[in-house]
Structure 1
Amino acid sequence: MTVKEKQPASKEQEKVWTEEQQQLSKLYETAREFKKLACWKWISDNHIFGVQNPEDGEIGYCSIMGESENLFGLALFRGSEGLESLNDMLIERDERYAWLHRQKCIMVTYEDRTDLEKRDLAEIKELGLSFRGRNAWPMFRVFDPGFVPWTLDMEQVRFMTAALEQAMDFATRVKKDASLLTAPQSGNVLVRTNESGAWEDRWMEPGFILKRPNKVMMSNQEMLNDIMNRFPNKKGHWETEFFYAPVAVKGEGERPYYPRLAIWVDRTTRSAVGFHLCYDENYEQEFLEHFLKLIEEKGHRPQKLVIRTNETLDLFEKTAQRLKVKIEREPRLVFLEEARQDLFEYFMNNQK
């Protein structure tokens, strides 16, 4: 009897995958199944449900995107901070584009091939995967306030994989029984949990962060007293606000971040008073000191600060009180918005 020669192993058989590659491959294949299910056809993005991370207990609040047919995917908003950013978007409290810098989430979206970055395409090629057509290529990103969207680490890969699996389970059951979308008690959210090795539904009250930041106190009291004594006159109404700049910079780590930018505009003269860019976390004191320097440059204190956001109020209120400068809240700062747009265009046109 002739013994059949052993065939050489194929390249695919020879390839040994690392644990990271196995986890990434599972994530991509799960994302492929989620796309195929197309559950956005019967679940809207404002139907929020949760998935608890089996590894650390953090709850990710899920929004299925695709109802508008503009953006398809799943957003997993992490913890209370993530849930607050999601609610801000749903009720449109945030100004245009601000949510890009505020949200805390992991997201998969389905893009055209040309929308992916080189690192995404290289990863897909390394895993031996292929996708075809428009809005078919999964792109995974993690969003953190003030940072450029970034690739997922392995813990986030596993969490997103679990979230996609549980989203498909939830959506499939909702298709058969829409009552799952109705909470037994107002304000509760259905959360998929896995505390004993099996996934189950639990209705839970989400943990919102209700505390406001502390009012900021000017640390350089000597400078504040000096400004008070040297500039007793008051003139003008200054609109002021701070936010993230539109252009990211490289920090100490690998991931770029967005510096904070403060603007002051005098609405009585319709002219810019000044702006300041801050690159570190001590932005509160730096902005307050620059505010005092602007008073020194102009030779007078403003009669009034006109402010829109809670964050800006918390920053300037105590210093304004000490300077005997009134504060007025308004829902829109027209002249500041014009200055902001001009400044953003300048930054975008001059970025390297």
Structure 2
Amino acid sequence: MNDEPIALEEWRQLFEAAIQFKKQASWEWMEDKDYFAVTDPYTGEIGYCVTLGAGGMDYGLNVYLGQTAPLFLQEIRSDFDTFKGDSKEVMFSARAIYVNFEDRTKLDKKDLSLIRELGYKFRGSNEWPQFRNYSPGFVPWSLTREEVRFLTVALEQAYEVADRFRQNDKLYFGHDEADEGIGEKRLHRVPRQTPEGIFWQDEWLPWRAEGSLIGPYTFPDELALRQCNKIKQSREVWQTDFDYAKVTIGGRGERPFYPRLCIWVDGKTSMIISAQLAEQADCREEYVRQLIELLKTMNRKPARIEVGSVKAYYALKISAEQLSIPLRFHSRLDALLDAKEAINESF
């Protein structure tokens, strides 16, 4: 499906929807907290639509995808509370399609070529539509046919919802049939196929989704952990974390990605014990395996492990318990931060 050619008419429909959305300028009365859900009539996937522009910097529409999309948006609204301020990790975890209205200089050759082929003319700052896909760990990329169709629908629905919201800013409230008083619900636009075509109707989702973007990770090789638990404990303190490296990897014609930089440092001597790149955005299995290999190679366990992020804490929590190694989270570990900076500067 991802390799399906996109017809010029499908691109034109997307541009027309984007142009109408831009003319409406709904960011003048809607904020990013006023997001709503739309079901893709072609695939059934739910996207969460966020209007950008109230802050006067970025203008456009983001459509967040996947089961974690509402949790991601709640995390942003809470100032990254769950991740203790690790905003980079949260932003890189998003899966979304979007249109941004940019300056001409922000568009690449393919963007400009498509605009010329369609016969559109744009002038000025924040006027040029740019369509992209966000995927965890990857650089922004061009849309697939499936994404072009869904983003077109999302823009059309965003236009309609914004018009309703301007007339009634209580659109999202008072539709909760909960037992305990009047609560809050989030608008969900759902398509229904009829003989006359697609008919859109309102449904209502919980204002807050249950669950968390992050939780403890269980390493699959329990035997390897049990074997390492027999290793004697030292007085060393290890500091560790994993982040997206400040370098991209990808062959010609391939979508570049940001590898994970997994670092282990001696907290007392500041010496780097290990620094490795992992290709997978979800590198937790490889991260724990690195710990196991370090324990085997060095033939000693640290007195404790200090981690520099919540994600690293949850990645190691269960395994550290099985290894009888105390685990601590600290938002600032100087030896670890110095090692990260030195390695990233070397790329």
Fold shared, TM-score > 0.5 on shorter chain: yes
Q: Alpha carbons of 1:23 and 1:295: their partners in 2 closer, same or farther (altered >3 Å)?
A: same
Equivalent position of 2:189 in the other structure: 192
Equivalent residue letter for 1:263: I
Equivalent position of 2:305 in the other structure: 305
Cα offset, 1:30, TM superposition: 1.3
Q: Secondary structure at the match of 2:105?
A: helix
Cα offset, 1:57, TM superposition: 1.8
Equivalent residue letter for 2:219: M
Asked if the contact 2:174/2:184 (under 8 Å) is kept, the reply is: yes
CA offsets 1:94-117 (integer angstroms, 9 cap, x no match): 514223421111111010000111
Equivalent position of 2:135 in the other structure: 144
Cα offset, 1:242, TM superposition: 1.7
RMSD: 2.8
Asked if the contact 1:238/1:302 (under 8 Å) is kept, the reply is: yes
Equivalent residue letter for 1:70: M
Of the structure 1 ranges 121-130 and 157-166, higher mean CA displacement relative to structure 2 is found in: 121-130
Asked if the contact 2:232/2:299 (under 8 Å) is kept, the reply is: no
Asked if the contact 2:69/2:94 (under 8 Å) is kept, the reply is: yes
| Pairing 1:77-116 to 2, within 5 Å after superposition | 77-93=64-80, 94=83, 95-116=86-107
Asked if the contact 1:78/1:105 (under 8 Å) is kept, the reply is: yes
Asked if the contact 1:189/1:205 (under 8 Å) is kept, the reply is: yes
| Pairing 1:213-252 to 2, within 5 Å after superposition | 215-217=217-219, 219=221, 221=223, 225=227, 232-250=232-250
CA offsets 1:58-87 (integer angstroms, 9 cap, x no match): 211111100111111000011322222222
Equivalent residue letter for 2:185: N
Higher relative contact order (CA 8 A, sep 6+): 2
Asked if the contact 1:81/1:209 (under 8 Å) is kept, the reply is: no
Cα offset, 1:268, TM superposition: 2.9
Quick one: distance in 2 between partners of 1:87 and 1:339? 32
Cα offset, 1:342, TM superposition: 3.1
2:150 to 155, 159, 175: 159
> Greater helix percent: which structure?
1
Q: Among all aligned residue pairs of Structure 1 and Structure 2, give the percentage whose two residues are the same amino acid.
A: 31
| Pairing 1:205-284 to 2, within 5 Å after superposition | 205=206, 208=209, 210=211, 215-217=217-219, 219=221, 221=223, 225=227, 232-250=232-250, 254-280=254-280, 283-284=283-284
- Does residue 36 (structure 1) correspond to residue 23 (structure 2)? The answer is yes
Equivalent position of 1:24 in the other structure: 11
Asked if the contact 2:303/2:326 (under 8 Å) is kept, the reply is: yes
Quick one: distance in 2 between partners of 1:116 and 1:252? 20
CA offsets 1:152-210 (integer angstroms, 9 cap, x no match): 11111111111111111111111121111435333521011111421222212379472
Quick one: distance in 2 between partners of 1:338 and 1:140? 37
CA offsets 1:189-247 (integer angstroms, 9 cap, x no match): 1011111421222212379472766633363846973x555x52412222222232232
Equivalent residue letter for 1:329: F
* TM-score normalised to structure 1 length: 0.82
Equivalent residue letter for 2:34: H
Cα offset, 1:316, TM superposition: 2.3
* TM-score normalised to structure 2 length: 0.84
Equivalent position of 2:336 in the other structure: 336
Q: Secondary structure at the match of 2:161?
A: helix
Asked if the contact 2:266/2:272 (under 8 Å) is kept, the reply is: yes
Asked if the contact 1:80/1:208 (under 8 Å) is kept, the reply is: no
Q: Alpha carbons of 1:183 and 1:116: their partners in 2 closer, same or farther (altered >3 Å)?
A: farther
Of the structure 1 ranges 87-96 and 125-134, higher mean CA displacement relative to structure 2 is found in: 87-96
Quick one: distance in 1 between partners of 2:290 and 2:70? 34
Quick one: distance in 2 between partners of 1:59 and 1:206? 15
Quick one: distance in 2 between partners of 1:63 and 1:120? 23
Q: Secondary structure at the match of 1:80?
A: coil
Quick one: distance in 1 between partners of 2:90 and 2:224? 38
- Does residue 180 (structure 1) correspond to residue 171 (structure 2)? The answer is yes
Of the structure 1 ranges 110-119 and 77-86, higher mean CA displacement relative to structure 2 is found in: 77-86
Structure 1 unaligned runs (5+)?
A: 1-17, 348-352
Quick one: distance in 2 between partners of 1:222 and 1:36? 60
